[in-house]
Structure 1
């Protein structure tokens, strides 16, 4: 029975070739990140490694993405940089989704009460500030590292889930199944998390997949200006910033990490579109 259902899901998902491409990209990136020490041609180059004799070499069979100014293999560093990028997305979403969803459910169910007013006015304040500017402001007063970059992005990201779930909970609170649960004396916790939340899951999952790419992009922007993962640990944004100083002569130092960022964002966006189409077909 379960195999049949999974087969139906895959059939609906695979009807969009771009979604399959997105899935392949995401799986490939995750594979390279998890097995970076084994798939990287020079894993030792991901740390404090210097070899000036091989510095600034263009792409070749020995170094498919070339080498940087310290003689480190760019491809190997890109594979290891995937780790911090994916960690950024996973940790941030693990924090903001529960917080944003819970606040959105409370504000939507208790609409026009002090709970609604308090939560949504605070949400509006955060939404009024451009996300990247808010993240830069927070990280600029903290020690620049990956952990503080995650905190900064988390602080700026939760209001989007609050606003999304608030709209859905507001409409669902008047549905018959919610009113029936209230009539039989179900607790508020049961109504919020057993009646309303399951009807929001498909939209939340779709947004999470799409946001994964955008969170990684914001993280790359923070590392580009020196507020993310610190050298010698590899970070895609830092690699782009370091290589930009030597354009156009040593173009490969920044171009390939930039293409890696584009590939990650593209993969998660295509995958998110496919998941959204899958749930829409399921509901239809």
Structure 2
């Protein structure tokens, strides 16, 4: 026996934790190269923490509900009320921080429902390309995609009772087709790859082929689109709230706050400007973060390092 051969137990095989740590280090390196993406991550984390800790960090948490103080109504920004007060005397800064909760909840729940539905339908249509199932799924998808997203969401929300839940339903109904179309294109190209053919030859189930062979190869574009879509969902939700089809008063909603403030422009400009800036900062933060996620998941020159 060759004396240079070592037992298999002596071979240094990296543990799962070590491989995960090394993979995370590479991904973080690619993400951190874009300083704007890091800034987006900081903005998003700050907004999430503010929303979670809203009852403890806002100067006037009671102003997020049924509260009236006409003695302090329509006050301009000051040290006591940095963003001023509205016509009911409620602190605008406190209401903006509480409004982050509804905006984030909407984005999370809409994507949590729309993404699995869209991905599943895209996988089915792509794998069974040319079948009746493919035709039905993709023609329905094309019908939804042919209507402007905001118009479709407004039409759906208008026939439902105006509240946060129905606004989320309206946005979800118009959001899943984008993921169906995205995954359909990738599944169509992957269905003829050798690893799919090999799985079919050994008798693997359709469930295994769809979710263990094809889906893992679609995850990077899906995650990238999800990160970029958060800002768009927040914007659509604010638009529904602006026209009164979202969360209802006295619960604070950014779009509703902007709408209320427009009636008193330019005298009470702070009622519109600060909620508008809050929406812009949220969308900016998630878009910058989405750009970083896209760069992090993209295969590039540093993947071999």
- Looking at CA atoms only, which structure, 1 or 2, has the larger radius of gyration? 2
Q: Note whether the superposition's TM-score is higher than 0.5.
A: yes
User: Where in structure 2 are there 5+ consecutive unaligned residues?
Assistant: 1-17
CA drift at 1:5: 2.9
In the other structure, the counterpart of 1:57 is: 75
User: Where in structure 1 are there 5+ consecutive unaligned residues?
Assistant: none
CA drift at 1:282: 6.4
CA drift at 1:6: 2.2
Kindly provide the CA deviation profile for residues 226-276 of structure 1, in whole angstroms up to 9, marking residues without a partner as x: 000000000000000000111111111011110111111111111111011
Counterpart pick for 1:222 among 224, 227, 240: 240
CA drift at 1:204: 0.5
In the other structure, the counterpart of 1:155 is: 173
- Conservation of the 8 A alpha-carbon contact between 2:27 and 2:297: no
Alignment RMSD, CA only?
Answer: 1.0
Task: Tell me whether 1:256 sits opposite 2:264 in the alignment.
Answer: no
In the other structure, the counterpart of 1:271 is: 289
Counterpart pick for 2:95 among 77, 99, 104: 77
Bigger mean CA deviation after superposition, 3-12 or 23-32: 3-12
Match runs of 1:109-258 below 5 Å? 109-258=127-276
Match runs of 1:21-100 below 5 Å? 21-100=39-118
**Rounded Cα–Cα distance in structure 2 between residues aligned with 1:243 and 1:176:** 60
Closer/same/farther in 2, CA of residues 134 and 163 from structure 1, 3 Å limit: same
**Rounded Cα–Cα distance in structure 2 between residues aligned with 1:223 and 1:216:** 10
In the other structure, the counterpart of 2:4 is: none
CA drift at 1:201: 0.6
Task: Tell me whether 1:106 sits opposite 2:138 in the alignment.
Answer: no
Give the TM-score normalised by the residue count of structure 2: 0.91
Q: What SS class does the counterpart of residue 200 from structure 1 fall into?
A: helix
CA drift at 1:10: 1.6
**Rounded Cα–Cα distance in structure 2 between residues aligned with 1:6 and 1:106:** 32
Kindly provide the CA deviation profile for residues 38-67 of structure 1, in whole angstroms up to 9, marking residues without a partner as x: 110100000010111111111111111111
Aligned residues: 284
**Rounded Cα–Cα distance in structure 1 between residues aligned with 2:300 and 2:94:** 41
